[in-house]
């Protein structure tokens, strides 16, 4: 496990979430934990983020830094790490949202620090092609 | 970054993906010019048959607005006239590419377009065999196939590219993301239809 995998694993453990996926804006997985069908999740996260950002810009509401979806059985949360990286978290219905947000913010900060210290070329993007 | 697709550049890209052997040569263009009067003599028959055929099918008929047949007949006649002028420069090919955008707007799908080009070609080939010396008919057939398939390629590819571009612009999904999304799904679609795959 690399540092990014560890951060995602801790996030999932601490929030009792189902899965976490770190993706780039092209929908390629950088890191993931418990992600079944990882490639599909990665493009869905990037697509949702793109659509949200476009919609927000069209409404003159600026860019987005967080995306929150309440489903019948839980939550889907997307949070910007930087302009090209998004963290997706799939959380359970009974999660404590305040606590989850706190862990999510802390994880984003840790990931951002790692990415800032690494050349993007060094990232192990799991290409789906 | 310029978000617009430059029509001339796109046209050149599409043509670049067509092997040289499939494209018009100067000799082919001379053949088309030599037979300009012959093709023009067929324009009335082609236009009449074209719209009779389209209006005979419920799906193709649905493309048209009430009362617009006359306008569309003039458009096709203009296309024939400009085409047999034989000035196959970038402006002419980019015009064909632009037709691909209009086809998205008008919901003229590629199957409709390809079928109808086949119909036009059939009229030209049949009359060429009946009216021209054999060697001239063969040369015209070769030139017309290259011309028509180039036109079809430009329109079909432009239809696809601008359809995807519209999706990209509305959703904010960049081309690479759309490509990756398609790659994720395409194996499932192949699997659902695997019985058609050649062994």
> Is B184 in contact with A55 (Cβ distance < 8 A)?
no
Residue B23 has pLDDT above 70, yes or no: yes
ipTM above 0.90, yes or no: no
Burial of A70 (0-12, 13-18, 19+ CB in 10 A): exposed
Q: Using CA atoms, how far apart are residues B37 and B172, in angstroms rounded to an integer? A: 50
The residues facing A23 across adjacent strands are: A29, A86
What value does the mean pLDDT take over residues B42-62?
97
Task: Examine residue B91 and state whether it is found in any structural domain, yes or no.
Answer: yes
What value does the mean pLDDT take over residues B49-77?
96
Q: How confident is the model at residue B49 (pLDDT cuts 50, 70, 90)?
A: very high
**Residue B197: per-residue pLDDT:** 83
Task: Examine residue B194 and state whether it is found in any structural domain, yes or no.
Answer: no
What value does the mean pLDDT take over residues B160-187?
95
**Residue B56: per-residue pLDDT:** 97
pLDDT digit string (tens) for A1-31? 679 999 999 999 999 999 999 999 999 999 9
Report which of residues A125 and B99 the model is more confident about.
Answer: B99
> Is B177 in contact with A46 (Cβ distance < 8 A)?
yes
Architecture in CATH of A3-113: 2-Layer Sandwich (3.30)
**Residue B195: per-residue pLDDT:** 87
Closest CA in chain A for residue B188 = A40
Adjacency order of strands within the sheet including A85-92 = A29-33, A19-24, A85-92, A74-82, A66-71
Q: How confident is the model at residue B1 (pLDDT cuts 50, 70, 90)?
A: very low
Domain boundaries, chain A: 3-113
Q: How confident is the model at residue B129 (pLDDT cuts 50, 70, 90)?
A: very high
CB B117 within 8 A of CB B109: no
Residue in B43, B42, B92, B47 with CA at minimum distance from that of residue B70 = B47
Task: Examine residue B83 and state whether it is found in any structural domain, yes or no.
Answer: yes
Given CB atoms, is B170 within the 8 Å cutoff of chain A? Answer: yes
Given CB atoms, is B176 within the 8 Å cutoff of chain A? Answer: yes
Task: Examine residue B1 and state whether it is found in any structural domain, yes or no.
Answer: no
CB pairs under 8 A between A and B: 46
Task: Examine residue B2 and state whether it is found in any structural domain, yes or no.
Answer: no
- B-chain CB neighbours of A43 within 8 Å are 177, 180-181, 184
Residue A35 has pLDDT above 80, yes or no: yes
A42-57 exposure pattern, b = at least 16 Cβ within 10 A, e = fewer: bbbbbbbbbbbbbeee
State the CATH number of the domain containing residue B61.
1.10.490.10
DSSP string covering chain B = ---SPPHHHHHHHHHHTS-GGGSPPHHHHHHHHHTHHHHHHHHHHHHHHHHHHHHTSHHHHTTSPTT-HHHHHHHHHHHHHHHHTT--SHHHHHHHHHHHHHHHHHT--HHHHHHHHHHHHHHHHHHHHHHS-HHHHHHHHHHHHHHHHHHHHHHHHHHHHHHHHHHHHHH---HHHHHHHHHHHHHHHHHHTGGGS--
Q: How confident is the model at residue A126 (pLDDT cuts 50, 70, 90)?
A: low
DSSP A31: E
| Ramachandran area for residue A62 (φ above 0: left; ψ -120 to 50: alpha; else beta) | left
Q: Using CA atoms, how far apart are residues B186 and B199, in angstroms rounded to an integer? A: 19
- Which tokens in the block code for residue A70? 């309440």
Task: Examine residue B186 and state whether it is found in any structural domain, yes or no.
Answer: no
How many angstroms from the chain centroid is the CA of residue A68? 11
B171, B183, B185 ranked by CB distance to A50: nearest = B171
Count of domains for chain B: 1
The residues facing B70 across adjacent strands are: none
Q: What is the pTM of this model?
A: 0.86
CB A108 within 8 A of CB A74: no
Closest CA in chain B for residue A27 = B177
Task: Examine residue B11 and state whether it is found in any structural domain, yes or no.
Answer: yes
- Which tokens in the block code for residue B175? 């081309």
């Amino acid at each position: 496990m690399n540092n990014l995998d560890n951060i995602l694993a801790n996030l999932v453990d601490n929030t009792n979430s189902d899965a976490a996926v770190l993706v780039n804006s092209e929908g390629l997985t950088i890191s993931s934990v418990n992600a079944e069908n990882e490639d599909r999740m990665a493009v869905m996260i990037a697509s949702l983020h793109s659509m949200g950002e476009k919609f927000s810009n069209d409404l003159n509401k600026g860019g987005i830094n967080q995306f929150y979806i309440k489903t019948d059985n839980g939550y889907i949360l997307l949070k910007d790490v930087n302009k090209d990286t998004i963290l997706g978290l799939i959380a359970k219905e009974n999660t404590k949202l305040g606590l989850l947000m706190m862990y999510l913010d802390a994880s984003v900060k840790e990931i951002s620090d790692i990415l800032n210290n690494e050349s993007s070329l060094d990232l192990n993007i799991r290409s789906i092609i | 970054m310029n978000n617009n697709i430059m029509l001339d550049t796109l046209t050149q890209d599409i043509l670049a993906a067509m092997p040289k052997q499939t494209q018009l040569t100067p000799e082919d263009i001379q053949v088309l010019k030599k037979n300009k009067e012959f093709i023009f003599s067929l324009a009335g028959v082609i236009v009449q048959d074209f719209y009779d055929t389209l209006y005979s099918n419920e799906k193709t008929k649905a493309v048209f607005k009430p009362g617009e047949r006359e306008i569309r007949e003039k458009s096709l006649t203009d296309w024939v006239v400009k085409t047999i002028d034989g000035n196959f420069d970038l402006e002419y090919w980019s015009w064909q590419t632009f037709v691909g955008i209009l086809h998205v707007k008008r919901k003229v799908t590629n199957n409709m377009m390809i079928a109808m080009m086949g119909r036009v070609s059939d009229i030209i080939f049949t009359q060429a065999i009946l009216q021209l010396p054999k060697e001239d008919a063969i040369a015209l057939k070769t030139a017309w196939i290259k011309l028509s398939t180039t036109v079809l390629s430009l329109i079909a590819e432009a239809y696809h590219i601008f359809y995807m571009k519209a999706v990209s612009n509305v959703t904010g999904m960049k081309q690479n993301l759309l490509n990756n999304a398609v790659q994720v799904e395409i194996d499932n679609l192949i699997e659902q239809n695997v019985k058609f795959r050649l062994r």
